[in-house]
Chain A
């Protein structure tokens, strides 16, 4: 082979090699300054695996779209996603690995509040931004035991969604006697008293038919055979629940087995999501009141329509659940902050996030500087069948603005200063 031909062949091979290495999410013409990793530890297996899949899908879609547009600050973004199998210790281990070995520049929060609380100290020790997209215990931003400067929440916290649900529930003055059912871990323990407080504030005549010690059931309890007799014996007008995923499915199914008219006899107010509707399909009760964090079918605007279209095109015509919407928003907000800061440096990014306003799928949100909690809305509605969708959606929707749901600032400051005994908002002076 002559020298010029060898040189030409070498150049062609080199060009091919460069093109191959520059692949992945970006176009072959995009030149990145480098790669930055973002860490996600989520429930790909375990009882909340449905949520983990929604999160992973939304995150990977965001990654591809972002890199197609040139990345963030010229850097390609690579998501490092690890499975924690719903296990708290594993979530903490994953966080350590992502930060110390993978050198992620940001962590996106886990599903369970307990997982976030186990991971937050690690993020704090290493000064890495921790963006909560799903876990939402209000104490994560207010309790001196939990809060860290690196934590930012773009999900309605337990106080916010409980307040929205409590106000809505309290307005139905015919419902006087309430039975409470909540999972026994940090999320349930934070949200349920907030719901009760909001319900009683809206309707002081309500009566909770069980003592607080009976509200909570083990997180891993999926057989409610011993719960239905309790409910029937208590004869409430309504049941409030914030159990979710497989546990909610088991409760609803068992209740309908016990009495097909169960949810007619006892009005039901529950946290729910598109994943929960899809899980039970036609069995999911119609006519019950639910509160959701990000139901795509109820959110207005072109951004969400584009997101749904792209999501369905990418994922076999599946609809995005609330978790997908919120996770996409979390990554969007983080990237916007990095872009505005011009840097991945934690202090600069947090400086932009704190008090900053961002355009998201759920509309424009502002992150309050005192607790780094975004004023994200909640949707409350009645389940109904709609021929456009293969699962129930909501009608008679109430969508209180996030600003109306935020924890009052004076209480935030009291909690943060340790003035509220047992770190309970209801105990604040």
Chain B
């Protein structure tokens, strides 16, 4: 492989990784702290993308609307997340996981119908602000400036989450919830409030993902399922509940997809490689590369 292709495919892989990490981080955080697999994670990602489209296309335009959406949409999905946690999940904590799965899956159907009712079935589109548009020259070719922006945002999100988890009281409680939820409850922490907060952070991150990813794709009623499938693959490989696992899992998946599609022999198998990796990890280390076994 020529050097320019090697560089471009690496950048493409890392750019894909950034997208996957942004989408997965919230899902992983919620599972780690609450032991809840939020099937509606993709729906909130989609909802945020539609809200962002509305803000950009109908309210504020591409230049200011994008930044406004970046604030408004995650806030919106975080508030929806609070309602979901209080009304749907709180009654079923401590009970079998199937109830949580069914509850959050039911929400995906509700959100799918609601989005179609409010926004219609058409494919929508919005662009990022002008200064993020276009490509930067990379070894004689062009690489989307926006993808570099996504990579930077992913690093910021990862760093922020790491600092919150390791340097704040909230983070300490979240780590305690991941390690030993019973002891946490016994220590006097308001666990229900903590869980709601964590769920809001997780769903807010889903919303952030929706706003950030839509400018390089489209906003359509089927985007929830696509996002969720990729998020699960990354989470399983990296380890549900592990921030480091989400980051590493995203990088693995991104690079596998990018280099896997690079030549004629592996191109038909690129997607299969990802799910093969998922199957191998599930077989050999079901809690993922950086996850923790269930107690």
A, B in one complex:
yes
Contacts from A to B (Cβ < 8 Å): 44-50, 52-53, 86, 184, 210-211, 213-214, 216-218, 220-223, 225-230, 232-233, 245-246, 249-250, 253-254, 256-260, 275-276, 278-281, 283
A52 touches B226 (CB 8 A): no
What are 15 contact pairs spanning A and B, CB under 8 A?
A45-B222, A46-B222, A47-B223, A52-B121, A214-B264, A217-B261, A220-B226, A225-B19, A225-B144, A229-B5, A229-B12, A246-B222, A256-B133, A258-B143, A259-B134
Query: Could you tell me the distance between the alpha carbons of A47 and B223 in the complex, rounded to whole angstroms?
Result: 7
Within 8 A of A (CB), among B253-288: 257-258, 261-265, 267-268, 271
The answer to the question of B147 belonging to the interface, with a C-beta cut-off of 8 Å to chain A, is: yes
B268 touches A253 (CB 8 A): no
B27-35, B86-94, B210-218: which lies at the interface: B210-218
Query: Could you tell me the distance between the alpha carbons of A65 and B11 in the complex, rounded to whole angstroms?
Result: 56
How distant is B65 from chain A, measured CB to nearest CB, in Å?
15
A216 touches B262 (CB 8 A): no
Query: Could you tell me the distance between the alpha carbons of A233 and B142 in the complex, rounded to whole angstroms?
Result: 10
A45 touches B112 (CB 8 A): yes
Neighbour of B4 across the interface among A86, A211, A216, A233, CB < 8 A: A233
Query: Could you tell me the distance between the alpha carbons of A46 and B147 in the complex, rounded to whole angstroms?
Result: 26
A258 touches B135 (CB 8 A): yes
Find the A residue at minimum CB distance from B147.
A225
* Chain B residues positioned under 8 Å from A245 (CB to CB): 123, 220
A213 touches B261 (CB 8 A): no
B123-135 CB mask vs A (1 if < 8 Å, else 0) is: 1110110000111
B217 touches A222 (CB 8 A): yes
B216-239 CB mask vs A (1 if < 8 Å, else 0) is: 111011110110010000000000
Interface-centre pick from A45, A86, A246, A250 (highest chain B CB count, 10 A): A246
Query: Could you tell me the distance between the alpha carbons of A49 and B221 in the complex, rounded to whole angstroms?
Result: 7
Query: Could you tell me the distance between the alpha carbons of A210 and B261 in the complex, rounded to whole angstroms?
Result: 12
In the complex where A45-B121, A213-B264, A258-B135 touch, is A86 in contact with B146 (Cβ < 8 A)?
Answer: no
Closest 3 pairs (CB-CB, A-B): A49-B121, A47-B222, A229-B8
The answer to the question of B2 belonging to the interface, with a C-beta cut-off of 8 Å to chain A, is: yes
In the complex where A229-B8, A253-B217, A259-B134 touch, is A283 in contact with B127 (Cβ < 8 A)?
Answer: yes
In the complex where A214-B264, A228-B144 touch, is A49 in contact with B217 (Cβ < 8 A)?
Answer: no
Find the B residue at minimum CB distance from A281.
B125
Find the A residue at minimum CB distance from B142.
A259
Query: Could you tell me the distance between the alpha carbons of A232 and B15 in the complex, rounded to whole angstroms?
Result: 17
Find the B residue at minimum CB distance from A218.
B271
A44 touches B125 (CB 8 A): no
Find the B residue at minimum CB distance from A48.
B222
Query: Could you tell me the distance between the alpha carbons of A214 and B15 in the complex, rounded to whole angstroms?
Result: 21
How distant is A199 from chain B, measured CB to nearest CB, in Å?
19
In the complex where A258-B143, A259-B135, A259-B142 touch, is A246 in contact with B220 (Cβ < 8 A)?
Answer: yes
* Chain B residues positioned under 8 Å from A225 (CB to CB): 12, 15-16, 19, 144, 147, 216, 258
Neighbour of A249 across the interface among B8, B123, B147, CB < 8 A: B123
* Chain A residues positioned under 8 Å from B123 (CB to CB): 50, 245-246, 249, 275-276, 279-280
In the complex where A213-B264, A258-B135 touch, is A50 in contact with B12 (Cβ < 8 A)?
Answer: no
* Chain B residues positioned under 8 Å from A246 (CB to CB): 123, 217-218, 220, 222-223
A279 touches B142 (CB 8 A): no
Query: Could you tell me the distance between the alpha carbons of A210 and B266 in the complex, rounded to whole angstroms?
Result: 13
How distant is A244 from chain B, measured CB to nearest CB, in Å?
10
Interface-centre pick from B9, B216, B218, B261 (highest chain A CB count, 10 A): B218
* Chain A residues positioned under 8 Å from B122 (CB to CB): 49-50, 53, 275, 278-279
The answer to the question of B141 belonging to the interface, with a C-beta cut-off of 8 Å to chain A, is: yes
The answer to the question of B192 belonging to the interface, with a C-beta cut-off of 8 Å to chain A, is: no
Query: Could you tell me the distance between the alpha carbons of A214 and B258 in the complex, rounded to whole angstroms?
Result: 13
* Chain A residues positioned under 8 Å from B116 (CB to CB): 44-45, 49
The answer to the question of B207 belonging to the interface, with a C-beta cut-off of 8 Å to chain A, is: no
Find the B residue at minimum CB distance from A232.
B141
In the complex where A45-B112, A216-B268, A257-B146 touch, is A226 in contact with B121 (Cβ < 8 A)?
Answer: no
In the complex where A232-B142, A246-B222, A253-B217 touch, is A210 in contact with B264 (Cβ < 8 A)?
Answer: yes
How distant is A227 from chain B, measured CB to nearest CB, in Å?
7
The answer to the question of B249 belonging to the interface, with a C-beta cut-off of 8 Å to chain A, is: no
